[in-house]
Amino acid sequence: MANKQIHNFLDGFSIEVTPNAANKIENFSDYLPSGTLIYIAHIEGTPIEDTVRTAKKITDQGFKAMPHFPARIIKDKETLADWISQYQNEAGVENALLIAGGANKPYGEYDSSIQLIESELFDRAGFKNLHIAGHPEGNKDIDSDGTTSNIDNALSWKNEFSKRTNASMAITTQFCFDSSSVIHWANNIKKSGIDIPVHIGIAGPAKLQTLIRYSIECGVGASIKILQKRAKDITKLLLPYKPTQIISELAEHKANNPSFNIEKVHFFPLGGIKQVSQFVKEI
């Protein structure tokens, strides 16, 4: 029964790549089910030509590409329109993850994903799926006072927008390691009236040191204590981390609570796509 719960929970999972990582994979079908949604991380300084080329490779191989649109590295509306046009015309893209981005200062006129939405360019282009960021453990870049006030207000605004757009929306979250924190957050946003489905971020198998480094860089909060506790156990320190526990616990909760608003799993392949593929096959 547990295996069936996990299988159902992982059905239709998505995954994230960078152009550099994608270049090392000859064919995604060697590792991923046909039609898998593949996000393309747009790291600051990456030429748009590289991410468009990655999107074309993904769609040409029978997968769905969802490039990141980080607001703070997009200079102006003309640049945004050009990016959308390139993705559509050269790679057949019709999905986008709209985020503020990690740049400390905006390159131009955009500072938030709300401003990207307000441009109306995605609606005009007929994008079918618009995903937005979620932060189960908060985000100090957005709420420096330690609350979730700004995040909550932005999520409410996006929830209202979701009712006005023809595009399907979802919340794709930062990765976490603690199922109880995820369940608490997901239930709370649902109670506050947010009815956008959640795609929960899960860190794929990786060395413990790698996960801790990424967790610090990405601002993962309470969950990192789980990794730090594991690091103190010398018997586990040298073993690669696998997200078996959090996936099993969330899958069980979903099976017992069918209305639970987590709809999909989104993998961050911090140890590589091959490792995620093997993990999914074995779990």
Task: Indicate the range of 34-43, 125-134, 201-210, 228-237 predicted with least confidence.
Answer: 228-237
What's at 144, amino acid-wise?
S
| Residue 175 banded pLDDT, cuts 50, 70, 90 | confident
Other CB atoms within a 10 A radius of the CB of residue 226 amount to 18
Query: What Å distances lie between residue 167 and 147, 155, 164, 196, CA to CA?
Result: 30, 16, 9, 12
- pLDDT at position 172: 98
- pLDDT at position 47: 96
Please give the tally of structural domains in the chain: 1
- What are the start-end ranges of the H helices in 16-107? 19-23, 48-60, 77-91
Query: What Å distances lie between residue 234 and 211, 223, 225, 238, CA to CA?
Result: 16, 20, 16, 7
> In the predicted model, is pLDDT for residue 204 greater than 90?
yes
Distance between the two ends of the chain, CA-based, in angstroms?
13
Tokens coding 222: 């309470």
Give burial (CB, 10 Å; 0-12/13-18/19+) of 197.
middle
In the chain, % helix, strand, coil (3-state, to 5) comes to: 45, 20, 35
Nearest to 63 by CA among 72, 71, 54: 54
User: pLDDT tens digits, residue range 259-281?
Assistant: 999 999 999 998 999 999 999 99
Other CB atoms within a 10 A radius of the CB of residue 178 amount to 20
Nearest to 132 by CA among 82, 194, 177: 194
Find the helix or strand (DSSP H, E) in which 175 lies. strand 168-176
Distance (Å, rounded) from C-alpha 187 to C-alpha 242?
Answer: 25
Task: Please enumerate in sequence order all residues whose Cβ is within 8 A of that of 12, keeping only pairs 6 or more positions apart, or say none.
Answer: 37, 264
User: pLDDT tens digits, residue range 15-31?
Assistant: 999 999 999 999 999 99
Containing structural domain, residue 25: 2-282
- pLDDT at position 61: 98
Q: CATH number of the domain that 124 lies in?
A: 3.20.20.220
- pLDDT at position 215: 60
